[in-house]
Amino acid sequence: MIESAVSVLAAMMLGLGSFFMISGALGILRFPDFYSRMHAASMTDTLGTYLIIGGLMFTAGWGLPLFKLTLILVFIFFTSPTAGHALAKSAQLSELRLGGEQSGSAKPGAGGVHSDQHPDSRDLARADRV
Amino acid sequence: MLTHLPILQVILPLVAAPSCLFLQKSRLSWAFTLLVSLAAFVVSALLLQQVMSEGSIRYSLGGWDAPWGIEYRIDVLNAWVLFIVTGVSTAVIAAARASVESELGASRQTIFYTLYLLCFSGLLGIVATGDVFNVFVFLEISSLSTYALIAMGRDRRALWSAFQYLVLGTIGATFILIGIGFLYMMTGTLNMLDLAERLPAVESSTAVLAAFAFILVGICLKLALFPLHLWLPNAYSSAPSIVTAFLAATATKVALYLLVRFTVTVFGIDFSLSALPLQSLFILLGLAGVFVGSAVAIYQSNIKRMFAYSSVAQIGYMIVGIGISTVAGLQATLLHLFNHALMKAALFLALAGLVLRAGGCALEDFRGLGRRMPWTMGAIAVAGASLVGMPLTAGFISKWHLIAAAIDSGFWILALLIVAGSLLSAVYVWRLIDAAYLQGPDKSLPEQGRNEAPLGILIPTWGLVLANLYFGVETSLPVTVTQAASAYLLGGAP
Amino acid sequence: MELILDITLLSLLLVTAVYIAWTRDLFAAVMLAGIYGLLSASFFMSMGAVDVAFTEAAVGAGISPLLMLSTLAICGRAQRANPQRAILALISVTVVGLLLISATLEMPAFGSPDAPAHLHVAPRYLTDSMREIGIPNVVTSVLASYRAFDTLGEVVVIFTAGLGVLSLLGLQGETLPRQVQSPMAEPSHLVLRVVGKVLVPPIMLFALYVQFHGEYGPGGGFQAGVIFAVGFILYSLVFGLDAVERIVNRSLVQALAALGVLVYGTVGVLGIVSGRNYLDYSGLAGDSVTGQHLGIIAIELGVGITVAAVMMLVFFVFSAQLVRGRVVQHAS
Amino acid sequence: MGTDTLLGLALGLPILAFAGVLFADRRQNLREAVSLISAGCLLWAVSLLYRPVLDGEVIGLSWAEVMPGIEIAFRAEPLGLLFALVASFLWIVTTLYAIGYMRGHGEANQTRFFALFALSIASVMGIAFAENLFTLFVFYEVLTLATYPLVTHAGTEKAKAGGRTYLMILLGTSVGFFLVAIAGTWLLAGTLSFTRGGVFPPETGPAVLSLLLVLYVFGVGKAAIMPFHRWLPAAMVAPTPVSALLHAVAVVKAGVFVILKVCLMIFGLETLKAIPATTWLLYLAAVSILLASLVALRQDNLKARLAYSTVSQLGYITLGALLATSAGIAGGAMHIVMHAFGKITLFFCAGAILVAAHKTEISELDGLGRQMPLTMGAFFLASLCIIGVPPTGGTWSKWFLLLGTVEAEQWLLVVLLMLSSLLSIAYLLPIPLRAFFPRNGVQATGPVAVREAPWPSMLAIAVTAIGCVLLLAYPTIISRLIQVGL
Amino acid sequence: MLLSALYNYWVVVLLMMTGLYMVIAQGNLIKKIIGLNVFQTSVFIFYISVGKVTGGSAPILSQLATVYSNPLPHVLILTAIVVGIATTALALALVLRIRQSYGSVEEQDILTRDSQC
Amino acid sequence: MTTKKSVKATDSGLRYSLYLSLVLGLIWLGNSGHYSPLLLAFGALSVFLVVWIARRMRVVDGESQPFHMSFRLLAYYGWLFRKIVESNIKVAGCAWRGRSAISPVSARVPCALQSDLSRVIYANSITLTPGTVTVSLDKGELLVHALTESGIAELQTGEMEGRVARLDQ
Amino acid sequence: MIIATAVALLVVMVMALVRALLGPTIHDRILAVNVFGTKTVLLISVICFISGRPEFIDIALVYALINFVSIIGVLKYFEYQGASAGEGASD
């Protein structure tokens, strides 16, 4: 009886995890500029991952794999925000300047991000001219 | 101790390499390398003697017997090539100190000798092993250390030629890996003898044919056979002279050994001949190599590059020997393997002495060399005569056997072409002798006195030159060994 | 199920490879090379080749993109447009391809248990290795005992590569510009520094765990060495090259690299001393199984030390080039 | 003294001379003394061998065994001895002449000349006494290399070009054809040693044999057969003693000697007859005689004319060898000796004219007879010897050659021989006649001071001229040797 | 069905062709090295798919599984990966040195600068 | 770096290394399924080695082993997890509704936290909640980019900052 | 159900790959690689469970570790490069 409950819970968590995963991936594809895509990506990293690993934990039951899964969970819990932060910082430093330079007040609108203008190709063009 | 000879042969330099890294002083590392090389030479001599008396030796590593563990099989062919590689290495290293010091500066000496030992053990590993994948691993060891050694050359062209050699060498090695993969897939084993037994059963499938083609192309890339030789002249002309001396005399020889080992022992001579038109292919490519190599060599101004092209030509001869694919033909190749190693080592060592004194080895440096460096120029003249194949030198013996083999199997035109090739080599050797002896030193250069190469280089060079002459007259050792080897490989004699 | 996984992974691999060939932006190529490594590692995983997946992940997705990136940092990202000799390349490549495809037609079907490969040498490893060597991980037992000489060759290859890189880049004047702090150390990288400090010890412990559990699960000397080096690399990324140089200076790393190979070599020689052939561990201890056990642990240690040392050496030499490149920029 | 030690002495002496000359180096008299004494001893040693060889005693020496069945070994046999006798005798004469010439002409680096001269004599001895083809080939190559610096003695650009053609043709043909032929013989016959009556097993196909014969004839570049004769006029650039060495003593003689030995001792007369290629080569030799004589006719330079005359005379000897009759071989061998004495005298006279009168073109020689009566007289005698007319020994060889052609029923060849003798008269005799009786009546009035070359050269010229005449009277010394040799 | 039986090998062949094309056609040295990597990885994939037995789990003996796939290709590939990374490291070091001394990593520039001096 | 923090590090250096070796031992035991004496010895050896290297790297200090606040930290993480689930659902909604639903905005949020550790925890937890990302961390403030204005507004209430501050006492 | 998650993971990986291939700016590509990395971690764990050998999840941990370090390495490249300096160094 308990196993069936646990396995149903695990199946549900896996399903939910996959749903979040796919929505996050969808977000990455559909969002207009880099920073919004980052949000979608961090979403898949957080809830999507935790749900799937939680589901796996339940299917694995007590034992060695459980500990290893928790280790992975803790590791991802620590590293994904840092990676996200570092990525955003380096984007900020290089070409995708954020409009947030002005005073602390939250400025509505799309901010100074010049998003859609394919800086990558411009970047390459400059490189070729060299 | 005698039972462990085969593995000692490879392990000695292999373990010596990392320990050489600990000796920081350059003179010490040179002495250490010389000692190790000498020990390896003694071991190979003992091994050759043991194999000649008792037949082939089997040594299973790690105690696991043949197809499961890795096995060392030393038969006459292995022992002979080991003997050549270790002998040449001892001579080259004996002459290395002064030349390496002047060309590489003080700081990189220890690393140079360590890399040299690695290359040396890599080559020995390829020759001694009886396991196909082990060949690939040691092939990589020797190639990687060769790329690093070439890249230590003085001018920037060394870097570019090292990179080209790396790309081509890696493609060659990966082709060999693909071939080994196919063989494993079709037979399930990696041991050479085991393969030889199990291949005839699956011989008809195209997979084995593809394996054969891939391994052949891979080895020919390493061998610098005619169409795939583009990396050799750059690599040999820009590398430090001592490296060129060592590589010219051994690296291509080991690749040739591999070719013989795969076509004869692993695939069996009859399969090799029927699968691809090997006989005509090798003879054609060999001759093309001879003529193109010699023709281009004639117009080179840098003498190292000239002798590099001449190496391409001489490899062409060996390939023709295999192309004839009779016992006499194979024996001619194995003989030329030995004689060519002697000649080229002597020539490049003499060039090392010249580069040390004159700073470069262009044709102008040779003007009036007969007076300035009589001993070095003498060595070049005699080794050049041997290269051309004048009687009473080692070169003549291998030319003689090659012609005899060609005539024996009825290819009269081939004999004439071989001789024409050696005439071409006479032309570019004559350019040197003409410049050195017959043209008076051009007046513009200040009249330098006699500044001969240091004794350290002269003694090994002249040692090799005398060996050239000795084996030109007293040929019992090479002839008997190569006779036994080719009879064993082709004739099926025990 | 395995089939779908297998086919999708391979198709993804193919798409990535083609795009790498096509793109002109080198940075994108390196990024995709990283993805290519990850994909091939997961393919190995689905094929059941656990150790290989481990290694490919550590190397294909970890070390080689890092090295390529530091080369890119110095050599610039643009690639000239016109691939010369394109037609020649296409022809020769298609010829080789056709030869191969014609060869695949007669290959034993993928995964068929009665293919010759599985019938001749391999069954003995699977059946007898537990009795003869006594460790569950058959790959490690083959790697470390049956074909121990191959692994010795492997270690020496790594050692050669390390020396080659050292001889090329390592000897250009040892004076590292001390005053240049790694840009990461500025206050704005607080998050990275703190998390780095938290993560480095567990990574190194995990490396040692992998080292010593090579017999029971996936892992072994090589993978452990790479992870250990990754720990140090993370530290050098976060705290700067000279911070790392203070902890383990270059001559120590060189010595360690040589030491690993010597450990491996001497374990082999012990085989001879104990009256058996080279690299035969059964003589090392009372009965042969514990002897094998000891031998395998010892050589795995040797492999681990050398690989860690060489990976660190290579990375430090490359980032020293980067730092020197940057100093030159500032100066010019 | 044992005959083997004599043979060893005969081979060792020239090498000792080579070392001695190098050692003497700057000191002129010592150097010349050393070469003269060693030449004398060599002649003495070789003549001591004459008696035992005549009695058919087997004298052999073996140095080193290079490969199973191939060794460096020597054996004194009649034909070889004949060639050695001629070479050693003429060595003394040429050294004598060279001393006079070098002093008179003040040539540079004479040490190199004398040393290399001794070395070429050593290689000639090696060729003469070689027991097998391999040893012969080794010394054949040493001879080429030793004579090359002599050809480019002058060091001018023209000398270098001449030297280059000399080397290219000789090395090319020797390595190109001769070596292949030797390898072929070794494979077919199993041995390379010279054996009476031929080495080849009876069942070898005629096609292979004719291929081998062609390879041999073209391989021996030194015999200057038509397509490969260009090195001889090119080598004419060298100073006269060198030309004498080349044309009369060593190089050319070695060439035809090898042809003779190959035809006699490798193929054997019977097999030679059976080979289809023999007739073709016979006609080639004949053509080469005729063509060379025609070209010689048109040469104005004295030494060029002598060079082409040598080419044609060599044609005679090759013809004799290829006739495959005992008379032909005998005629060929005899002609080696006659031609040696005749041609060497002509070259000495040419040298003397150059030294004394500084003239090289034949047109300038009108009326020289009065100034240089002795030289011109010797020239006249020597030309008779070359032509093969009674007062000189040449008659014997031409006579035997004629006998040989008749015996071989080659009637066309008989006519050709007659024609070429006429031609040789045409290009040789006018020179001395016009010297004594100038054509356009330019009578030198009054007594003209007799200016001859320095006395050593004149002595040499006299000796060789008398030699030509003596050979007519005492041919038996040579003919008995040849009888034993056949 | 045929597709599943040989799909692995065809992908290996295609990858090999892409890798080889990159090495030969692309002028940029770093691109050549990436091409070399792709080429070598395709050989690894070939070896592993040779070793795979359908239904066989990883060659680590345990009670859970009975059929194992062939361990030998795994060992070979472990060594081959090491060789691959060693070659790449050395090649990259060479590229750096070439960049320093030639000033460019494009094959054309290097050849022209070589021929000039 | 504030001086106060460095004083605390030296006197209790030993305490932190003990805490670190405890954590590492736990990881080792948890991971390795085989508890043979040999492996345990190796475990102890490697834990000791790693701690020694960590001390040489000066990585063992208050920041890396926040054991003084570990219990409160767990409670905070519980609360944070709830926040994550909330914002995840919001962002998922935006993702499905597509481009129209989002209004990306960036702003500078003041942050009064003193110790580095708390500022790092605060920055990470902002990034963890998917709607908001900490772009850069300066002396007194944080540059944050949010998918929707509501994200920024919620941050500015300072609720999360308060909770992190409580951790630090 | 695990198989469904595996398929979902594959789909997500494909989408991440598409973003990596299209990605206009470099940072999009890095983001895609990061997402790809974490999804591979999950995929590996799922594969372990499907093939019934759960003790291999160490590899998933290594993946996460390697992914993190390579992202940091890439960003370090940008630190040294900086948008402008990158091209400057390349001529």
C-alpha C50: how far from chain center: 14
- DSSP code, position D325: S
Most confident of C194-203, E81-90, F128-137: E81-90
E15 lies in some domain: yes
CA distance B429 to B383: 10
Does C184 have pLDDT greater than 80?
no
C100 lies in some domain: no
| Average pLDDT of the segment spanning B73-87 | 93
Interval A72-96: pLDDT, tens: 999 998 888 889 888 888 888 776 6
C97 lies in some domain: no
Q: Of all helices (H) and strands (E), which one includes residue D283?
A: helix D276-298
How many residues are there in chain F?
169
Most confident of A95-99, B82-86, D441-445, G71-75: B82-86
B474: Cα within 13 Å, side-chain hemisphere = 5
| Average pLDDT of the segment spanning C13-38 | 90
Report pLDDT for D445.
54
> How many domains does the structure of chain C reveal?
1
C120: Cα within 13 Å, side-chain hemisphere = 20
Q: Which of B280, B284, B278, B254 is nearest to B264 (CA)?
A: B278
Q: Which of D229, D410, D249 is nearest to D322 (CA)?
A: D410
D200 lies in some domain: no
CA distance D250 to D340: 9
Q: What confidence category does residue A115 fall into, taking pLDDT thresholds of 50, 70 and 90?
A: very low
Mean predicted lDDT score pLDDT of chain B: 89
CA distance E48 to D95: 84
Q: What percent of chain D has pLDDT over 70?
A: 96
* Pairwise pLDDT comparison (D273 vs B53), residue with the higher score: B53
C186 lies in some domain: yes
β pairing state of F105-110 and F141-146: antiparallel
CB proximity list for B48: less than 8 A, separation 6 or greater: B79, B80, B82, B83, B481
Contact C209 F28 (CB under 8 A): yes
Establish if C192 touches chain F: CB-CB under 8 angstroms: no
Report pLDDT for F2.
38
Strand pairing partners for E60?
Answer: C137
SS3 B191: strand
Report pLDDT for C329.
53
Spans of all domains in chain A: 2-96
Contact C209 F32 (CB under 8 A): yes
B108, B140, B187 ranked by CB distance to C120: nearest: B187
Report pLDDT for C250.
85
> How many domains does the structure of chain E reveal?
1
C65 lies in some domain: no
Report pLDDT for A103.
33
| Average pLDDT of the segment spanning C165-171 | 85
* Pairwise pLDDT comparison (C327 vs B451), residue with the higher score: B451
Residue of C67, C69, C213 best to disrupt the G interface, most CBs of G under 10 A: C69
Interval C84-140: pLDDT, tens: 677 888 888 888 888 888 878 777 777 777 777 788 888 888 888 888 888 888 899
Report pLDDT for G85.
38
D440 burial level (CB within 10 Å; 0-12, 13-18, 19+): exposed
Longest Cα separation, chain C? 67
Report pLDDT for B40.
95
Contact F127 A42 (CB under 8 A): yes
Q: What confidence category does residue A106 fall into, taking pLDDT thresholds of 50, 70 and 90?
A: very low
What residues of C are in contact with residue B148 (Cβ under 8 Å)?
Answer: 160, 163-164, 167-168
Q: What confidence category does residue D240 fall into, taking pLDDT thresholds of 50, 70 and 90?
A: confident
Does C187 have pLDDT greater than 60?
no
Treating both helix axes as pointing N-terminal to C-terminal, what angle do B241-260 and B96-104 enclose, rounded to 10 degrees? Answer: 120
Contact C116 B205 (CB under 8 A): no
Residue C167's domain spans which residues?
A: 137-332
| Average pLDDT of the segment spanning B24-36 | 90
Report pLDDT for D440.
66
What residues of F are in contact with residue A27 (Cβ under 8 Å)?
Answer: 91, 94-95
Does D396 have pLDDT greater than 50?
yes
Q: Which of B257, B254, B276 is nearest to B265 (CA)?
A: B257
List the helix and strand counts (H, then E) for chain G.
4, 0
Interval B273-327: pLDDT, tens: 887 888 889 999 999 999 999 999 998 888 999 999 999 999 999 999 998 888 8
Q: Which of B256, B257, B324 is nearest to B287 (CA)?
A: B324
Q: Which of B374, B358, B381 is nearest to B465 (CA)?
A: B381
C-alpha pair distances (Å), C150 with each of B59, C290, E43, E79: 15, 22, 18, 7
Report pLDDT for D444.
52
Residue C246 neighbours by CB distance under 10 Å:
13
* Pairwise pLDDT comparison (G8 vs D159), residue with the higher score: G8
State ipTM: 0.86
- For residue G51, give the chain E residue with the closest CA: E57
Spans of all domains in chain G: 2-85
Report pLDDT for D189.
81
Runs of H (alpha helix) within B105-205? 109-128, 132-151, 157-187, 192-202
CB proximity list for G60: less than 8 A, separation 6 or greater: A72, G41, G42, G44, G45, G48
Straight-line distance from the first to the last Cα atom of chain F, in angstroms, rounded to the nearest whole number: 19
Mean predicted lDDT score pLDDT of chain A: 74
| Average pLDDT of the segment spanning D289-315 | 86
Report pLDDT for B466.
92
Q: What confidence category does residue C282 fall into, taking pLDDT thresholds of 50, 70 and 90?
A: confident
Least confident residue range of A116-125, B479-488, E79-88, F152-161: A116-125
- DSSP code, position D153: G
> How many domains does the structure of chain D reveal?
1
C99, C156, C282 ranked by CB distance to B141: nearest: C156
CA distance D362 to F32: 110
Interval B315-324: pLDDT, tens: 999 999 998 8
C70 lies in some domain: no
* Pairwise pLDDT comparison (C204 vs D279), residue with the higher score: C204
Tokens standing for residue B278: 């090997």
Report pLDDT for B12.
93
A18, A64, A87 ranked by CB distance to G4: nearest: A18
Interval C299-320: pLDDT, tens: 999 999 999 999 999 998 988 8
D78 lies in some domain: no
Write phi, then psi, for B57 (nearest 5 degrees): -110, 140
β pairing state of F132-137 and F141-146: antiparallel
How many residues are there in chain B?
494
Report pLDDT for D380.
86
C-alpha pair distances (Å), F113 with each of D155, D420, F169: 98, 124, 11
Establish if E77 touches chain B: CB-CB under 8 angstroms: no
Q: What dihedral do alpha carbons C275, C277, C281, C287 form, nearest 10°? A: -50
What residues of C are in contact with residue A82 (Cβ under 8 Å)?
Answer: 191-192, 195
Q: What percent of chain D has pLDDT over 90?
A: 0
C-alpha B156: how far from chain center: 25
CA distance D405 to C241: 99
What residues of A are in contact with residue F110 (Cβ under 8 Å)?
Answer: 104
Interval B343-386: pLDDT, tens: 999 999 999 998 888 887 888 888 878 888 888 889 999 999 99
- For residue G26, give the chain A residue with the closest CA: A120
Least confident residue range of B465-479, C77-91, E57-71, F86-100: C77-91
CB proximity list for F26: less than 8 A, separation 6 or greater: none
E58, E96, E106 ranked by CB distance to C80: nearest: E106
Q: What confidence category does residue C264 fall into, taking pLDDT thresholds of 50, 70 and 90?
A: very high
Q: What percent of chain B has pLDDT over 70?
A: 97
A67: Cα within 13 Å, side-chain hemisphere = 11
F42, F57, F139 ranked by CB distance to C200: nearest: F57
- DSSP code, position B446: -
CB proximity list for E117: less than 8 A, separation 6 or greater: none
Does B207 have pLDDT greater than 50?
yes
Does A105 have pLDDT greater than 70?
no
Interval B99-156: pLDDT, tens: 888 888 777 889 999 999 999 999 999 999 999 999 999 999 999 999 999 999 888 8
CA distance C256 to C235: 19
Check: CB of residue B187 under 8 Å from CB of residue B202.
yes
Shortest CA gap E30–chain C (Å): 8
Report pLDDT for F89.
86
What residues of F are in contact with residue C198 (Cβ under 8 Å)?
Answer: 63-64
CA distance B376 to B374: 6
Does D67 have pLDDT greater than 80?
no
- DSSP code, position D130: B
pLDDT tens-digit profile, chain G (91 residues): 788 889 999 999 999 999 888 878 888 888 999 999 999 999 999 988 888 887 888 889 999 999 999 998 888 777 766 433 333 333 3
SS3 B329: helix
| Average pLDDT of the segment spanning D187-194 | 82
Does A3 have pLDDT greater than 80?
no
Residue B2 neighbours by CB distance under 10 Å:
9
Place of tokens 């490919």: C56
Establish if F60 touches chain C: CB-CB under 8 angstroms: yes
Residue type, D204: T
CA distance F73 to F71: 5
Instruction: Give me the CATH number covering residue E24.
Output: 1.10.287.3510
Q: Which of G38, C270, F162, E95 is nearest to B167 (CA)?
A: E95
Mean predicted lDDT score pLDDT of chain G: 81
Place of tokens 């890396």: F64
- DSSP code, position C240: -
F94, F95, F145 ranked by CB distance to A88: nearest: F145
β pairing state of D59-67 and F132-137: unpaired
Mean predicted lDDT score pLDDT of chain E: 87
Report pLDDT for B462.
92
Establish if C213 touches chain F: CB-CB under 8 angstroms: yes
| Average pLDDT of the segment spanning D19-44 | 82
Mean predicted lDDT score pLDDT of chain D: 82
Shortest CA gap G69–chain E (Å): 18
CA distance C158 to C155: 5
Q: What confidence category does residue E60 fall into, taking pLDDT thresholds of 50, 70 and 90?
A: confident
Interval B153-177: pLDDT, tens: 888 899 999 999 999 999 999 999 9
Does C233 have pLDDT greater than 70?
yes
| Average pLDDT of the segment spanning E72-87 | 93
Place of tokens 């643009």: C78
What residues of F are in contact with residue A20 (Cβ under 8 Å)?
Answer: 88, 92
Q: What confidence category does residue F106 fall into, taking pLDDT thresholds of 50, 70 and 90?
A: confident
Report pLDDT for A126.
38
CA distance G81 to G91: 14
Which parts of B211-355 are beta strand (E)?
Answer: none
* Pairwise pLDDT comparison (C268 vs C85), residue with the higher score: C268
| Average pLDDT of the segment spanning B446-464 | 81
pTM: 0.88
